[in-house]
Chains A and B, each alone.
Chain A
Amino acid sequence: MKRSTVPQPNGSARDTACYIKKKDLNREPIWGGKEPPISQLDIELTERCDNDCIHCSINLPENDAKAKKKELSARQWKDILKQAADLGVMTVRFTGGEPLLREDFADLYAFARCLGLKVILFTNARGITPQLAALFVKMPALEKIEVSVYGMHRKSYEAVSRRPGSYAEFLRGIHWLTKSHIPFVVKGAFLSANKKEIAEFESWAATIPWMDRPPSYSMTFDLRGRRDSPKKNRLIKTLRATPGEVIGILNRHMEAYRREMSRFCRKFLGLPGKKLFACGAGRAVCVDAYGRFQPCLSLRAPDLAYDLKKGTLRDALTRVLPKLKKASAVNPLYLKRCSRCFIKGFCEQCPAKSWAEHGSLDTPVEYLCGIAHAQARDLGLLAAGEKGWEVSAWRARITKMK
């Protein structure tokens, strides 16, 4: 057998740091430039929540026995997590509903970590107990926990959560995270009950050691993804920020925002064409509480779901991902507007939003279109009354941005 030459690391042969190095997955993907089958698995452990937030697009009551009975068991979740790890997935995100409502959350968390998965947890923090904090200390998630904050005071918080006592429990959860030095970040929901607390919220957020930028906000609230409640949808529509409010929030750190947008526009604005899934759908995929695979966390269209109780994650990828690659818009209105709109990069319009609003994948969402146009006007990319799909010399406008 031909002998090979000992492979030498860069630099000194005796510099052991060259044999083992830190791995930054963002800068140096594992898959050597190839697309991994999936980069992240979002697991919606339950749709139930201990809050009843006025703007929520998914929540069911905490004690919804019917929903609870349909949820996957710990054994089924572990099987899916194992399949994900075998496919090379590095990160799993536990979300909901409120994932901490699951009595087996700690077991599932530890199982995921023992598979070598990094864990992102989306939570309202009400269920953070000393025991759970101790687990996060002993077995760190390797990603920051993301806590949703609905208000800085009991009155404002509970006007959104609609659960008496929820504010005190949220504070207690934050206390345990802070006391245990567990990395977490906070994010807000911009609603009439807490609008006046933005400065206070941001001052507090700045004291959290792991916040490396100002908090993000939900402002343009999604309608119910399952299209299950016209009444709730009507309420959500009334809660959405106006274009002026969105611009106000975006401009609150104006210099940094303008600088970032200048870079963003040069990189991401342009004519999108009729391809429907130009987003991360299919790279970070989701499994809902009942074992249905979906291309992303928001998209509930049944035609793009796959029942993992009847097949594997690999089967789901094989069947669903080709559909995403092929999916093109056919709606004449979408083709006339969105496919030719150079500011589509600003617009949150996507198949998931279109599905929630209209029950189709390619119908423009007027509210989101209005927000994107307001943002483009604010940045000097559009004149008053002008539409993004009417501008042919859009490249020159982007170039002129400071």
Chain B
Amino acid sequence: MKLTAKAGAVYAPSGDIVAREIEGEIIIVPLTAGIGDAEDDLFSLNETGRAFWKLLDGKKTLAQIARTLAEKYDAPPARIEKDILGLAAELLKRRIINEKKSF
């Protein structure tokens, strides 16, 4: 099933992983089964991924995060948002992030 991330939705790191920052690198360590393809897969985020992760506070929408990144980096907001949606979909698929529902 293809999971889609929504620009207007709010996401937060999932309880199924632990994100560790070591020497400036963010390592995603699965806490529960089924996050990686193999039992022992760990993940790492590149610079853009790290910038996204640090803004992922369970309060901002993806659109807000994209605007912040577009402001920080000299890039068109629409392209940044498209990239962020793709990254968020990948993280959602792997249960690395969860959508925060507002009640």
Contacts and interface: CB of A to CB of B under 8 A. Distances in A.
Contacts of B89: 16
A23 B42 contact: yes
A85 B44 contact: no
A115 B73 CA distance: 32
Interface of B: 18-20, 22-23, 25, 27-33, 36-37, 39-49, 52, 69, 72-75, 79-80, 82-83, 86-87, 89-91, 96
Contacts of B19: 116
Interface in A83-129: 85, 88, 90, 113-118
B74 A139 contact: no
A25 B29 CA distance: 12
Contacts of A20: 28, 43-46, 49, 87, 90-91, 96
Nearest to A17: B90
B interface, over-half SS: mixed
Contacts of A118: 29, 40
Contact of B33 (A5, A14, A140): A140
A30 B27 contact: yes
Contact of B27 (A3, A19, A116): A116
A85 B20 contact: yes
Nearest to B33: A140
B32 A19 contact: no
Contacts of B22: 30-31, 88, 90
Contacts of A115: 18
Given A4-B73, A140-B30, A16 B90 contact: yes
Contacts of A138: 32-33
8 contacts: A5-B73, A9-B48, A13-B79, A20-B43, A20-B91, A31-B22, A116-B19, A118-B40
A329 B91 CA distance: 53
A80 to B, nearest CB: 17
Nearest to B75: A6
A151 interface: no
Q: Which 9 pairs between the two chains have the least Cβ-Cβ distance?
A: A116-B18, A6-B73, A16-B86, A6-B75, A19-B49, A116-B29, A23-B44, A7-B47, A23-B42
Given A5-B73, A16-B83, A20-B91, 14 more contacts: A6-B73, A6-B75, A9-B46, A16-B89, A16-B90, A19-B45, A19-B46, A30-B22, A114-B18, A137-B33, A138-B32, A140-B33, A142-B29, A142-B39
